[in-house]
Amino acid sequence: EPEVTQTPSHQVTQMGQEVILRCVPISNHLYFYWYRQILGQKVEFLVSFYNNEISEKSEIFDDQFSVERPDGSNFTLKIRSTKLEDSAMYFCASNGGQTISGNTIYFGEGSWLTVV
């Protein structure tokens, strides 16, 4: 069964450092997302990406965040200068998007980011 894959599964970084989280969405999907989940809290939307540009973003997705699809398969989230409060599980997700019944979002296993 096709799946969304993410790397790394866990990363520890020092405050102020840049981090890049990588994702390979399901191959024929059109929409890509990043969500995050701080420990014990709800899953929060960060950004969606379609046709090589950001289609939607939340208030959380400020100037320290950026996304990129550098080639035909990878989708990355960059955090420029990490803060302690960026410590969270980051989920990549993708969506085929063809019809309302196909508008289902599938999640990767997540990248756990710890900022120290």
Partner 1 sequence: QKEVEQNSGPLSVPEGAIASLNCTYSDRVSQSFFWYRQYSGKSPELIMSIYSNGDKEDGRFTAQLNKASQYVSLLIRDSQPSDSATYLCAVNPDLGAGTALIFGKGTTLSVSS
Q: Which residues bind partner 1 (CB under 8 A)?
A: 30-31, 33, 41-45, 48, 50, 55-56, 89, 91, 95, 97-110
By C-beta, is 79 or 91 nearer to partner 1? Answer: 91
Q: How far is the CB of 110 from partner 1 (least distance, A)?
A: 5
Backbone angles phi, psi at 81, to 5 degrees: -135, 95
Q: Which amino acid is at 101?
A: S
Residue 48 or residue 82: which is nearer to partner 1 going by CB?
48
Q: Residue 13: how many CB atoms within 10 A of its CB? A: 16
Residue with smaller CB distance to partner 1, 18 or 56: 56
- Minimum distance from residue 23 beta carbon to partner 1 (Å): 12
Nearer to partner 1, 9 or 73 (CB): 9
Look at the chain and count its residues. Answer: 116
> Which residues lie closer than 8 Å to 96 by C-beta, 6 or more apart?
26, 28, 29, 30, 31, 102, 103, 104
Shortest reach from residue 68's CB to partner 1, in Å: 18
Q: Give every CB contact of residue 93 below 8 A, 6+ residues apart in sequence.
A: 4, 25, 32, 33, 34, 35, 105, 106, 107, 108
Q: How far apart are CB 47 and partner 1 at their closest, in Å?
A: 8
